[in-house]
């Protein structure tokens, strides 16, 4: 039933995007529309986030501290990485590790901390004790029982069914996702220093997101595809990003750039 609802809702999103309807609705979608929508989308996450963090508040606080430390205070610190090129051969290059992977680094370090606490039996071994779920061996059987290779295919969970309630529920999520996507597209443009994307580029983006949701639903995924602003590489220089973004959006090199030419490729 969920698979069928995702398939139908993704078709609606593709229709909205590729038909150009988003370009028409852009006049009604602004910051005062996007900000409350994103806030309302995040409100239901407070309860599950609190429940999961309550498993062990010490580990949760450590993870939050590490993510904030890496993303806000160490983001401009570079890490030398060995690189091989045709001109310079073997040399080192600066890599903004903390700026690109703050969440991943925070989670990995917290997991290693839990692993050390598990090996040293610092965490309780009784299933009913507080902090037991912070151990890294509570679900160790999952890795041993999982197959080494698994190839998903369309219809692997059976023929999808469609219900009116499920379709309208997923369509509500699609509408919120579309509004958020418009805000993220403009935020990405501002991040890399280029003008706001034109209407036809936003239409294509929404349509492609719908196509991704359609493929995800066909393969039986319980969710769809959506853009994520956090995946944009902040380490890209504004000149490089602007050059790539303007060409991909259909701009000419000097269009909307106040007469300032972009560097040649």
Cα separation, 119 vs 40, in Å, equals: 41
Q: pTM score > 0.75 for this model?
A: no
Range of the domain at 191: 1-44+160-254
pLDDT digit string (tens) for 198-236?
Answer: 888 889 989 999 998 888 888 887 776 666 555 554 434
**Residue 62 scores a pLDDT above 70:** yes
Residue 49 lies in a domain: no
Whether 193 and 221 map to the same domain: the answer is yes
Residue 63 lies in a domain: yes
Mean pLDDT is lowest, of 59-73, 121-135, 181-195, for: 181-195
Residue 73 lies in a domain: yes
pLDDT digit string (tens) for 22-41?
Answer: 888 887 777 777 777 777 77
Whether 166 and 39 map to the same domain: the answer is yes
Whether 183 and 239 map to the same domain: the answer is yes
Whether 195 and 241 map to the same domain: the answer is yes
CB 165, CB 148: distance < 8 Å: no
249: exposed, middle or buried (C-beta count within 10 Å: 0-12, 13-18, 19+)? buried
Residue 151 lies in a domain: no
Whether 30 and 64 map to the same domain: the answer is no
The total of structural domains in the chain comes to 2
CB 2, CB 161: distance < 8 Å: no
């Amino acid at each position: 039933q969920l698979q069928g609802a995702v398939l139908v809702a993704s078709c609606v999103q593709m229709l909205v995007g590729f038909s150009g309807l988003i370009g028409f609705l852009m006049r009604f979608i602004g910051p005062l529309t996007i900000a409350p929508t994103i806030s309302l989308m995040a409100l239901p996450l407070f309860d599950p986030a609190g429940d999961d963090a309550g498993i062990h508040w010490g580990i949760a606080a450590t993870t939050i501290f590490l993510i904030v430390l890496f993303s806000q205070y160490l983001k401009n610190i570079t890490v030398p990485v060995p690189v091989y090129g045709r001109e310079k051969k073997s040399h080192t290059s600066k890599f903004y590790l903390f700026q690109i992977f703050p969440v991943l680094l925070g989670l990995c370090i917290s997991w290693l901390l839990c692993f050390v606490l598990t090996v040293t039996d610092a965490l309780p071994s009784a299933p009913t004790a507080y902090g037991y779920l912070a151990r890294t061996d509570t679900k160790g059987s999952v890795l041993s029982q999982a197959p080494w290779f698994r190839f998903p295919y369309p219809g692997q969970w059976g023929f999808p069914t469609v219900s009116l309630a499920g379709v309208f529920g997923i369509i509500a999520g699609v509408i919120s996702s579309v509004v958020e996507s418009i805000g993220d597209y403009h935020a990405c443009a501002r991040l890399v220093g280029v003008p706001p994307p034109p209407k036809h580029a936003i239409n294509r983006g929404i349509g492609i997101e719908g196509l991704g949701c359609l493929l995800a639903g066909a393969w039986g995924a319980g969710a769809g595809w959506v853009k994520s602003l956090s995946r944009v590489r902040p380490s890209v220089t504004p000149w490089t990003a602007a050059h790539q973004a303007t060409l991909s959006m259909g701009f000419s090199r000097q269009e909307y750039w106040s007469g300032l030419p972009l560097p040649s490729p």
